[in-house]
Amino acid sequence: MIATFLFRYARTAALAAALLAVSGFGSTVMAQSVAAMVNGEAITNFDIEQRIKLTKLTTQKAISRQEALEELIDDKLKVKEAKRYGLDMSSSDVDGAYGNMASRMRMNPEQLSKTLEGHGIRPETLKNRIKADMTWGNLVRGRFQSNLLVPEKDLAGIEPSDTKEGESFEYLVRPIVLIVPRGSPSSAIEARRKEAELLRSRIQSCDEAQSLFRSMRDAAIRDQLTKTSADLPPALRELLDKTPVGKLTPPEVTKQGVEMVALCSRKPTKADTPAKRAAREKIYNQKYEAKSKSYLQEVRKGAMIEIRK
């Protein structure tokens, strides 16, 4: 019975499609829905509407239909060009990047998807944008790596007049956490914070910290990490500069519990200072943007792009 119904439905649908094609109605609808063809791939009017909504949500700026179409054309070309060089992102790679973006927004992927859908945006719209941006970035940095390097001569004269700001240190640190279960009352958090302060006053070296915190319940001391001044945000860098070697930084309440950092060593280094790192990154980004723009223009010249009215 069900099989017979499905067969009849399929035959009816096929007949309807044939009638639409003969009448020209189906081809008209198809032509209206496709806004452009890029190397044989379609960009629909729906895609354009989605890009406009996504841009409005993420940048708080309204873009025109033409601007949205140009962005979508570029995205198609970027992915296609990257594939020529064997660069492609799998669905799992894209989902991972999507999840990381959600995490930075203090959401999980499902919450991010619901937020997008609440604004009339399909999650795939954002995922497609992520894929284009990441594959293109990998391609440009991979193909033109030597052109993007920033020589030391380009950084001459950028050090600040403040001597302290012009110095760079290498810090050997060990993060420590006194675990507080989620949902604990503020009294429990305060008790652990006071405990951390007491322990902090007792510790005189990283060896002592390791011995103590490894033996404690509901506490952990991480492996050693090496960071330079340029790796750290200003607030943490200033805190470590004020902390005596062998001591712990003041306790800070976080999602994990009460955290501190044991400073095992601090020594001068010739690595980039924060000012030099910032200058290097600025010049690198300028070079990247220029190369990315010129490369994309070349790709567009060799592409088959058909804009449909």
Set out the domains of the chain in order of their start, with CATH numbers: 169-268 (3.10.50.40)
Is the confidence at residue 28, as pLDDT, over 50?
Answer: no
Confidence of residue 9 (pLDDT cuts 50, 70, 90): very low
| Helix, strand or coil, per DSSP, at residue 67 | helix
Distance CA 117, CA 123 (A): 7
Q: What is the pLDDT of residues 228-237, one digit of tens each?
A: 988 888 889 8
Confidence of residue 19 (pLDDT cuts 50, 70, 90): very low
Checking 140-148 for CB contacts under 8 A at 24+ apart, the result is 140/288, 140/291, 140/292, 140/295, 141/288, 142/85, 142/87, 143/85, 143/295, 144/291, 144/295, 147/287, 147/291, 148/284, 148/287, 148/288, 148/291
And the tokens for 26?
């189906």
And the tokens for 259?
């955290």
**What are the residues whose beta carbons fall under 8 Å from the beta carbon of 293, sequence distance 6 or more?**
none
The sign one gets for the Cα dihedral 122, 126, 129, 134 is negative
Beta-carbon count within 10 A of 208 CB: 14
Is the confidence at residue 135, as pLDDT, over 50?
Answer: yes
Residue 41 pairs in a beta bridge with 38
- Residue 167: per-residue pLDDT: 78
When comparing pLDDT for 6 and 122, which is higher? 122
Q: Using the structure block, give the residue that is written with the tokens 């989902």.
A: 95
For 212, phi then psi, to 5°, come to -70, -55
- Residue 276: per-residue pLDDT: 81
Confidence of residue 11 (pLDDT cuts 50, 70, 90): very low
- Residue 8: per-residue pLDDT: 41
The whole-model pTM stands at 0.64
Q: What is the pLDDT of residues 66-94, one digit of tens each?
A: 999 999 999 999 999 999 999 999 999 99
The whole-number average pLDDT for the span 159-179 is 77
Work out the mean pLDDT of the chain and round it to a whole number.
86
Question: 161-165, 200-204, 246-250, 297-301 — which is least confidently predicted?
Answer: 161-165
Structure-derived torsion over alpha carbons of residues 289, 290, 292, 298, reported in degrees to the nearest 10: 160
Confidence of residue 110 (pLDDT cuts 50, 70, 90): very high
Helix-helix angle 123-143:274-301, to 10 degrees: 100
Is the confidence at residue 12, as pLDDT, over 60?
Answer: no
- Residue 166: per-residue pLDDT: 58
Confidence of residue 157 (pLDDT cuts 50, 70, 90): low
